[in-house]
Amino acid sequence: MKERYMVLCACIALFMTACALDGGNIIGPAGGIVFYDKGSYSDGWRYLEAAPKNIGEGTWDRAVELCNAYSKGGYDDWFLPDIDQLEELLYRDGKVHGATFEHGAYWSSREWKTDPSYALRVRVGGTSSESEGEGNTSAGSSGNAYIKSNKYFALPVRRF
């Protein structure tokens, strides 16, 4: 029992040296918001952190480029999140995580399975009207598919 406690304390200490607290949010080593803990290290990572705000607006291809080129805190391993990661980040218990993200739509990296000219996105706040742009309302419960030429926010994430 004592060994487990010591291992747990060592893990917490390691995590806290890599991270800090800011307004209730855990800040990761690159200065982003830690929003996911998969419980243990596998495939070289355990946590996901997001940039503290979106990094611009553009088409889906531009959002991918912006996220891949993003650098913060000495780290350049950022990417456009998958729809599940984006939903985890932007919504917790039905609320926008940390209330730090602008209202609007955010691109995910997931392309629509039956038509690669569409990709899924998540809307934060405001109306969830499907009337803007060209949407595919048959996209399912995880986001909605929109034509990639529409312009939405890019919000990079990274693993550590």
**What gap in Å lies between CA 49 and CA 89, rounded to an integer?**
9
Output the pLDDT for position 79. 98
The residue extents of the domains of the chain are 2-159
DSSP 3-state assignment of 140? coil
Tens-place pLDDT, residues 60-99: 999 999 999 999 999 999 999 999 999 888 876 555 665 4
Answer whether 127's CB lies under 8 Å from 135's CB.
no
pTM, entire model: 0.76
pLDDT, averaged across the chain: 80
* Range in 50-54, 111-115, 135-139 the model is least confident about: 135-139
| pLDDT of 105 strictly over 50 | yes
